[in-house]
Amino acid sequence: MNPDIFRAYDIRGIADTELTDPVVEKIGQAFATMAIRRGEEIPRIGVGRDARDSSERIYMALEKGLRRAGAHVVDLTTVPTPLTYFATFRQEYDGSIQITGSHNPGEFNGFKMMLGKETLHGDTIQQLRQLIEDDDLISSDEDHGSSAYAELRKEYIEWVRDNITMGERKLHIAVDSGNGVAGIVAPELLRDALNVKVHELYSQPDGSFPNHHPDPTVEENLQDLIAAVREHNCDFGVAYDGDGDRIGVVDENGEVIWGDQLLIVFARQVLENHPGATIIGEVKCSQTLFDDIENKGGNPIMARVGHSLIKAKLRETNAELAGEMSGHIFFNDRFFGFDDALYSTCRLAEIVSRTHQPFSALLADVPTTYATPEIRRPCDEKLKFKIPGYVADLFADDYEVNTIDGVRVKFNDGWGLVRASNTQAVVSLRAEGHTPEARDRYIEQLQNAVDTAEEQLG
């Protein structure tokens, strides 16, 4: 078993060589062991899966391991990750697992896991690995079998219909599911629950992702959506990653609305209904997000990067809303607090349907800033977590620094970020300025600081 498949936020590896049947069975047995040792005598575990070619085979092996330890397995069938989360909250499962490779290429697969209503991440994922390596697993003499929950998609659509209130405006939305599993739910959801006209792109699931890579944070992957919005005069367009928990958005002009801009749109609606609410963004987000939340009377919190970490922070602070640049959006307001790109689409449709202005007008008053893309520098694994601290010391005398996740330096006319990747031998840099010149100056300062850190620490 390759220990590297146990990552910071989930388990992920190459399906045919790393997620073999024996490995997957052990993962299922270890997960059920954890659930039983939490006090669940016969845990009910819901299991969903994406549409990759390997997912059905992996489901069979995982079910076998779960049942070997004494769990009852509820087969949630092929559904987006948010529907597995939805079932966990609505059906009160003792745990749940989504089989998915998320936005990785088709040869990958993996697991996103919840024990109770808490996502496994960090140390708990490593505890799962340790149970397997130590062979510290429960083997039950009784097989408690499995059952199917075939009505999940129908129940989800009906729940959204009852909990979203559309305005008078009839919307036309382009939806690019990227041949991921969101395509089996999103178009139907928008048509049936919200009475929206939908222009579909790539709704048919295909684990080889023949049209484009299913990652909506990469602008190259949004080109077909942008073209469709412009050609068909849509009010806006949305794109999903492979398992439907991350969203990408373009406005009526085909301009990309990044995660922090989208969070501004959602935060303004939430703050209208919950004055003073706490709203969470992560360290990569624009300063305009935190300023806008504060200006609208909210309590902005800057958090560490990572969907599992954001969910934990949401519970800790009882925030109404949270989000990441990567397109994970978490609504506690009127929802369950987990990341759901389909529900986020519906909340966005609700907002746009209540105005006669174009989508772009919703952000017209946000100050213009100029940001670099995320710059990923290869870095020695032994150095990468030391570099941000060294960089923080270089800037601390002259600027405000935040070290919650790497180091974020607040310059006079913008900010810059240096942080170590949790999953790769990489240090990431990003800078934002009120002018292109400020942005370029700040990223150059950060690059020079990292050069110095590598020289001194190496």
- To the query of whether residue 408 is one of the catalytic residues in this protein, the response is no
Asked whether the predicted pLDDT for residue 321 surpasses 80, the reply is: yes
- Confidence grade of residue 156 (pLDDT, cut at 50, 70, 90): very high
Q: Following DSSP, what letter does each residue of 192-216 receive, concatenated?
A: HHH--EEEEES-S--TT--SS-S-T
Percentage of residues in the chain having pLDDT higher than 70 = 100
Name the active-site residue from 54, 55, 96, 102.
102
Asked whether the predicted pLDDT for residue 387 surpasses 80, the reply is: yes
Asked whether the predicted pLDDT for residue 423 surpasses 80, the reply is: no
Name the active-site residue from 68, 246, 328, 430.
328
Query: Strand 197-201 relative to strand 414-420: parallel, antiparallel, unpaired?
Result: unpaired
pTM to 2 decimal places: 0.94
* Mean predicted confidence (pLDDT) in 105-127: 93
pLDDT score, position 412: 93
pLDDT score, position 314: 94
- To the query of whether residue 12 is one of the catalytic residues in this protein, the response is yes
* Mean predicted confidence (pLDDT) in 353-364: 96
Domains 3-150 and 370-457 share a fold: no
Contact 105, 209 (CB under 8 A): yes
Contact 163, 90 (CB under 8 A): no
Asked whether the predicted pLDDT for residue 329 surpasses 90, the reply is: yes
Q: For 247-300, how does the pLDDT look when each residue is reduced to its tens digit (9 = 90+)? A: 999 999 999 999 999 999 999 999 999 999 999 999 999 999 999 999 999 999
pLDDT score, position 451: 96
Domain range annotation of the chain: 3-150, 151-366, 370-457
- Give CA–CA dist 207/194, Å, rounded: 28
Hey, is 44 helix, strand or coil? strand
Asked whether the predicted pLDDT for residue 458 surpasses 80, the reply is: no
* Mean predicted confidence (pLDDT) in 225-243: 97
Identify the architecture of domain 3-150 in CATH. 3-Layer(aba) Sandwich (3.40)
How many other CB atoms are there within 10 angstroms of residue 53's CB atom? 14
- To the query of whether residue 328 is one of the catalytic residues in this protein, the response is yes
Q: For 38-88, how does the pLDDT look when each residue is reduced to its tens digit (9 = 90+)? A: 988 999 999 999 999 999 999 999 999 999 999 999 999 999 999 999 999
Asked whether the predicted pLDDT for residue 105 surpasses 90, the reply is: no
Name the active-site residue from 12, 44, 121, 439.
12
Cα–Cα distance list, 259 to 22, 54, 263, 287 (Å): 39, 30, 6, 13
* DSSP-derived secondary structure letter, 2: -
Instruction: Please state, rounded to an integer, the average pLDDT across all residues of the chain.
Output: 95
pLDDT score, position 130: 97
Identify the architecture of domain 370-457 in CATH. 2-Layer Sandwich (3.30)
Q: For 18-31, how does the pLDDT look when each residue is reduced to its tens digit (9 = 90+)? A: 999 999 999 999 99
| Backbone angles phi and psi of 331, in degrees to 5 | -100, 120
- Give CA–CA dist 33/124, Å, rounded: 13
* Mean predicted confidence (pLDDT) in 304-321: 92
Q: Which CATH number fits domain 151-366: 3.40.50.720, 3.30.470.20, 3.40.50.2000, 3.40.120.10?
A: 3.40.120.10
Q: For 174-223, how does the pLDDT look when each residue is reduced to its tens digit (9 = 90+)? A: 999 999 999 999 999 999 999 999 999 999 999 899 999 999 999 999 99
pLDDT score, position 123: 92
pLDDT score, position 40: 86
